[in-house]
Every structure is written in structure tokens, then in C-alpha cells.
Amino acid sequence: MSKNVLIIGAVALGPKAACRFKRLEPDANIIMVDQSDLISYGGCGIPYFISGDVSDAAQLQETSFHMLRDVKFFQDAKDIDVRINTRALSIDRKRKTVNTKHVISGKEETLSYDKLVLATGSKPRQLPISGIDLEGVYTVTDLHKAIAIKQEISEGKVGKAVIIGAGFIGLEMAEALVDLWGIETDIVEITNQVLPGIISYNLARMVQCHLEENEVSVYFNEEVVRIEGKQRVEKVVTGNRTLDADMVIIAAGIMPNSDLARSAGLKISPKGGIVVNKRMQTSDPDIYAGGDCVEVTNLITGKPSYYPLGGLANRQGRVIGTNLAGGEAEFEGSVGSFVVKLFEISVASAGLSLETARNENFDPVSAFMVQFDRAHFFPEKDLMYLELVVDKSTGQVLGIQGLGNKGDGMVGRINAVAAILKSKPTVSEISNLELPYSPPFSSAMDILNALGNTAENILAGKNRVIDADQFVDWWKNREDGNTICLDCRGWGNAEPFVNKYPDYWKSIPQDELRARFKDVPKDKKLVLICNTGVRSYEAQLIMDKAGLKNTYNLQGGVAALKKWGLDL
């Protein structure tokens, strides 16, 4: 068992490992060092501090009992020695020592260890452009920078902001700047969607539409070439445009902070993460590592992956603390679950998106479902949008993504699937997943079960589908005359479209289809459409039975098109 433990890093994983180990080995000696004076804070709460939802930065350091997790707290309440403003310079694995330096006084000190824990976190991806050292240009990497950003905003220095990157941090920061402060905000993203590689293009387009409804401008497929200004930032220049800016936030991604480990000769992955086993041991069995500086196994692909998430860091910290005390705890890996709030919606994901699944050499298809989050007759209800990614050949569920309101309903469905993804469930397991039912909370046939049913029908070839983006492409080229939209809703819903687009939009309600089959255009490809995709699927089955199979059901129906931002 370890009696002298040294921990480098005191934000998330470090304190968790230290406290767990101290509970198991009360007589052990623990020293925790961090180069900052702000420690043990909830980094994921930074956007909400900047937005004003969290009024004071100290709240991010408090326990649930409102105790400030500072040096005194760890000394008095946990019997852990914390050295703030102390940077680890090098590791001597042979002598089992770490050379440190106080960043203010410059004093160096050599600390010994029996076991060492690396919780060195991440560092921002550097952009090779000029102007990143101007005043008003920030990365949101720690609490000090968050405090500086909020200070500039509260002093009235910022009327226009540009965010570089449309990942988690970029989108959360956009909401923080716009929602409370009313700052005119632009996002510049080098790819063609928000949250690239995490959610599908169609779901991302719905998120984009919501951002634009809240007056956030997003520019895709653009790369920032320079930031301009004399002393303070004034403009951001891309390959296509110049944007005025009083503040720039660089959110172009983060990388494992593994320099210390690399210099010590520890094994580092090609992507820069510290390589660890399931016990969170590095290539040196006396050195553990976890959190944002390591790679872990993706439980779907079986490959190393990088997940800089606070929840994982805390779970890994407990595993490390247990093993420091002689335990045999393991961290299996992750499916990469996340959720983010953006104005009036939430977006969540677990597992692989459609694009990522293709890149991992699966043969994926996606099922998309729009349904109320509660019983349709319950007065308080809202639409929920879920997408299931499935391997075509095996029926294995590879991932799930969703969009809903700010309540817990949507993320609860994502959580239900996230918990079983590591067991490689099939679509039939989603169809029959047991979920609690009561009208104020769900439907008797829950949206998750309906989503599984839809995926089964797609795999069986019974439901031939197109998605919103495919519909938009067809609509733009509708004058080629090869495709007709057949509206399966009642006349009251279909009439405005039929009147406006008589050559491309026909109305035959699903319940009248058998009697009016002679009116169906049989020489055209038919896009079947209803409000959510359910009645149009029924119409497709009727036509299949009649031998007409050149039909495609629009997944999510008009509800998906509206959320997508298509104005017909």
C-alpha cells in the first residue's frame, strides 16, 4: 500500500483521487500540487459563471455544503497537503522524485513519492495565426480566464464577440454572451456543422437554427486567418469575411497536457494522450494518470479515444484512489456521453454519430423519431427529437443523439441507452426497453420504444426513408419533375402547400389512400410526408401492398423540417 503519494494537478481528478485514498488510508501522506491558486473547481460550470447563472466564481469551488475547497479546506477537513502556485518541472522515475518550482517566488523543491498521480488536464489547441496575443483574445481553459472574461464584459468593454469553434465550449460561450449580456456574437467554424463528429448533420442543423433564432450568427467552412488590432482586438479575418470584435474566444478544441509525462519517458499515444490500463496505471506501474490528459477505450469501437469530460475525471479519480490503497478497481472505458444546454433547448449524445460510425468502418443507418415527451393528451407537453444509429448488418445500436427542451425528459432517454451501449444492444432491445410510464412523464409507447421500432422497420426494408437534408436537396431541384411530395395529413394541413406548389405537392390523407389509390401519381418518385413520419409510414405500407414501391418516408415529417429551419 502507498504511504507517500504525490499528485500533480488539483482541479477534478486530483482531489477526487486524494480524498478517496485518504479515506481508505487515513495515515498516508498526500501532497497535491497545482500551478494555479484556484483549485478543485467545477470547470464545466465556467460558462454559467460567465453568463451570470452562477453569480460568484467561488461557488464553483464550494462543496454542496457551501464549504470553499481551498488549501485550508483540504488541510483541515481532509488532512491533505496542497501546494498552490507550484509547477511540476520534471519527474525522475529512477529516484521517484518530482522537481517543482513556485511560480511566484521561483523557489525550487524536490518532492519524493512512493506513488505518483498525473492529473495535468488539457491545453487549448493553438491556432497558427497572428493576433492571438492581443488584449481581449481568450481561451476558456481555467477559472482565472473566466473571471477575466466576465470582468471585461461587466465593465462594458464588449459589445461584439467572435467565437472560433462550434464545439461544446464555443456553443456554451455563445449562449453565455448573448443570453444575459446581450452581446452580438458570431461563431466561425471550420467544418460544415456545429458539434462536428458528435451529432448528425440533420440534428446539428436544428441546433444551428435555434442559435440563429437567438441572434447568434454561425459561419461554416471558414478558417480564421488572422486577428487584427493595435493593442486590443478589433477584427477577425477569415478567408471569406471580416468580423468586428471587441472580444475573441478561441474554442478550437483541446489536447491532452502530456508534456510532463512525455519528458519522463512514459508511453504517449499518437494523439498525445497518456496511455493507461484499466487500473489507470501508466507504462510505469508506480505512476497513475487520469482525466483530460489520458486516452481511454471507446467501449463501442474498442479503440483508444479522448474524452475530456468532468464526469469521467471524477470516476477515474475514485478508481485511482482505490488502487493507491491496494485495491483492484478498473475503469473500463467510455461511450462518450454528453449533454449541453443552449438557450431553450438541450442536446445530448451517447456513442457514435452516423458520420463517426462510417469513419469507424461500420455500415450504419439512422432512425429518426419526433414524438411528444409526455402522453399526447397531457396538457403540458413538448416535442422531442431522437436519432438512433444502428449497424445495418448486425442490428447493433452504435449511438443515440437527441434534442429537446430544457427539461430532463430528453437526456433521460439518452441516459437509458448510454447505460447499455457497452453491452452492444440490438434494436430489438431498444424496442422492448422497459421504461416507467405515467402520462405526466411519458407515453405508453415511449419515444425510445418507437425509435427502436422504426429502426427495426428500416433494417427490414419496410420503412424506406429520407432525412431532412435529402428532402431539402430534392426540394431545391424539384423542377426536374421526377419527384412529387404526397401529403398524408388531413386537407386542412395540406391545403396551403398544395395551393402554393400544385405541380409538386399532392394531398391524399392516409385514411383515404385505399379508396383514392387511383389518384396516386404512379410514374413519379414519391416523398411521403405527415407531421412526424408515422402516418406517412402507414401510407408507405399501403402502397407497398398495392405494388407501388417507389416511395420514401420523410423521417420526422414537417416537424423535422420546421426544426431544421426550412420555410416552405
DSSP for 138-180, written as a single string = EE--SHHHHHHHHHHHHTT--SEEEEE--SHHHHHHHHHHHHT
Q: CA 167, 169, 171: angle at the middle one, nearest 5?
A: 65
Closest CA to 271 of 245, 242, 303: 303
Average pLDDT, the chain: 94
In a domain, 126, yes or no: no
Give how far Cα 382 sits from Cα of 193, 208, 375, 539, 543, Å: 25, 19, 10, 25, 31
Q: What residues does 235 pair with on adjacent strands?
A: 228, 244
- Say if residue 319's pLDDT is above 80: yes
Any idea what the CATH number is for the domain that residue 318 is in? 3.50.50.60
Query: 188 with 247, same domain?
Result: yes
Residue 299 maps to a domain:
yes
Does residue 489 sit within a domain? yes
Q: How far apart are CA 221 and CA 229, in angstroms?
A: 24
The answer to whether residues 259 and 246 belong to one domain is no
pLDDT for res 541? 96
Burial of 542 (0-12, 13-18, 19+ CB in 10 A): middle
Grid-cell match 469507424, residue found: 360
3-state helix/strand/coil string of 230-292: CCEEEEEEECCCEEECCEEEECCCEEECCHHHHHCCCCECCCCCEECCCCCECCCCCEEECHH
Residues 407 and 484 in one domain: no
| Length of the chain counted residue by residue | 568
The grid cell for 421 is: 451501449
To which residue does cell 508511453 refer? 267
Could you give the angle at which helices 468-476 and 557-564 cross, rounded to 10 degrees?
Answer: 80
- 16-42 mean pLDDT: 95
Same domain for 363 and 408:
yes
Are 155 and 231 contained in the same domain?
Answer: yes
Domain boundary residue, one of 201, 226, 252: 252
Domain identity same for 106 and 158 = no
* Mean pLDDT score, 85-96: 97
3-state secondary structure at position 71: helix
Measured torsion, CA atoms of residues 287, 262, 107, 58, in degrees rounded to the nearest 10: -70
- Asked if residues 118 and 17 have their Cβ atoms less than 8 Å apart, the reply is no
Co-location of 454 and 344 in the same domain = yes
Helix/strand/coil (H, E, C) string of 470-521?
A: HHHHHHHCHHHCCEEEEECCCHHHHHHHHHHCCCCEEECCHHHCCCCHHHCC
Residue whose C-alpha cell reads 409538386 in the numeric block: 504
Mean pLDDT of the 505-513 span = 95
Which of 289, 324, 359 lies at the terminal end of a domain, its last residue? 324
- Examine the domain organization and report whether 10 and 97 are in the same domain: yes
Query: Looking at the predicted structure, is the pLDDT value of residue 2 above 80?
Result: no
Q: Give the per-residue pLDDT at 17.
A: 97
In degrees rounded to 5, what are phi and psi of residue 298? -75, 120
Are residues 109 and 177 located together in one domain of the fold? no
Q: Strand 505-507 and strand 525-529: pairing?
A: unpaired
What is residue 153's predicted lDDT score, i.e. its pLDDT?
A: 93
Q: Do 529 and 510 meet the contact criterion of CB atoms below 8 Å apart?
A: no
Q: Please name the residue that has the C-alpha cell 383514392.
A: 516
**Percentage of the chain modeled with pLDDT above 90:** 85
Same domain, 473 and 425: no
Sign of the Cα pseudo-torsion (523, 529, 535, 538, in order):
positive
- What's the grid cell of residue 310? 468532468
pLDDT bucket at 534, cuts 50 / 70 / 90: very high
What pLDDT score was predicted for residue 35? Answer: 96
* Residue closest to 555 by CA, chosen among 531, 522, 524: 531
Taking the C-alpha atoms of residue 503 and residue 553, their distance in angstroms, rounded to an integer, is 19
pLDDT at residue 380 in the model: 85
What are the tens digits of pLDDT across the range 334-393? 999 999 999 999 999 999 999 999 999 999 999 999 999 888 888 888 899 999 999 999
pLDDT in tens, 157-208: 999 999 999 999 999 999 999 988 999 999 999 999 999 999 999 999 999 9
C-alpha cell at 523: 410514374
Amino acid sitting at position 48: Y
pLDDT value at 1 more than 60? no
Whether 61 is in a domain gets the answer yes
Whether residue 433 is contained in a domain is answered as yes
Q: What pTM does this model have?
A: 0.93
Query: Which amino acid is residue 420, in one-letter code?
Result: I
67 and 17, same structural domain?
yes
| Residue 9 pLDDT > 90 | yes
For 4, the enclosing helix (H) or strand (E) is strand 4-8
Please count the structural domains in the chain. 4
Mind giving me the DSSP string for 284-341? STTEEE-GGGEEEEBTTT-SEE----HHHHHHHHHHHHHHHTT-------B---EEEE
- The residue segments making up the domain with residue 285 are 4-40+57-121+255-324
Q: What average pLDDT does this structure show over 559-568?
A: 90
What SS3 class is residue 434?
Answer: coil
Q: According to the model, what pLDDT value does residue 44 have?
A: 87
Query: Would you state the pLDDT for residue 447?
Result: 94
* Residue-wise pLDDT tens digits, 107-150: 999 999 999 999 999 999 989 999 999 999 999 888 999 999 99
User: Domain for residue 294, yes or no?
Assistant: yes
Instruction: Please indicate, yes or no, whether residues 209 and 102 belong to a single structural domain of this protein.
Output: no
127 located within any domain: no
pLDDT digits (tens, 9 = 90+) for 389-441: 999 999 999 999 999 998 889 999 999 999 999 999 999 999 999 999 898 88
Give the pLDDT confidence score for residue 309 in this predicted structure. 86
Instruction: State the Cα–Cα distance between residues 338 and 172, nearest whole angstrom.
Output: 13
Residue 560 has pLDDT above 90, yes or no: yes
Residue 12: band (very low, low, confident or very high) from pLDDT cuts 50, 70, 90: very high
The residue from 268, 292, 324 where one domain ends is: 324
Are 24 and 132 in contact by the 8 Å Cβ rule? The answer is no
Please indicate, yes or no, if residue 329 is contained in any of the structural domains. no
